[in-house]
Amino acid sequence: MIVDPFSALFSEIGFLNAAANLLFEMPERIRALYPFTPRIILFGHTHEACLQYHSGAVETVYANTGTWIDKTPAMTWVEIEIDDVAVGKRQYTVSLWIYGSASPKQSIMVTAQFEQEAYMIRHR
C-alpha cells in the first residue's frame, strides 16, 4: 500500500495534494520501483482545478485538471509541453487552461537535468 486509508479517503473526495506529496517524496518502500524523481504529478476529476509549484532540491509541479461535471462554470484542462533543450536537459511547461480563454490561466516551467541518456526516452 502506498497511501494510508485516511489519505486515500481524502484523495477520493478531492484532496489529492497528500497523495502527490507522497509521490514527490518517494518513500524508501517504493523507491526501488521508480528509479527517477517525479517532476510532475497530474491528477484529475476533482472539483477544483489547480496548478502548484514546489521548489526544493528538485522542482516539482502538482497539476489537477478539475472536473467537467458538477456546476463548474467552464471546462478546464492541463497541457504539458516537453522540450529537449540540450543533451540531457529537458524543459516542461505545465499549463492550466479554461475553455474559451486565449491563453492559459496559469503556467509553470521546470527544467530537469539527466545524468544518463536512458532517462531521456519519451513517448508520444
The domain segmentation of the chain, as residue ranges, is 5-120
* Alpha-carbon Rg for the chain in angstroms: 16
Q: Give 32-48 pLDDT, tens digit per residue.
A: 887 777 788 888 766 67
How is residue 117 annotated by DSSP?
G
Lowest-pLDDT range of 12-21, 44-53, 62-71: 12-21
Reference 62, options 2, 17, 7, 3; nearest CA is 17
Taking residues 16-24, report their average pLDDT: 66
C-alpha 36/C-alpha 93 separation (Å) is: 19
Q: Give 4-15 pLDDT, tens digit per residue.
A: 665 655 555 455
pLDDT value at position 2? 57
pLDDT value at position 93? 96
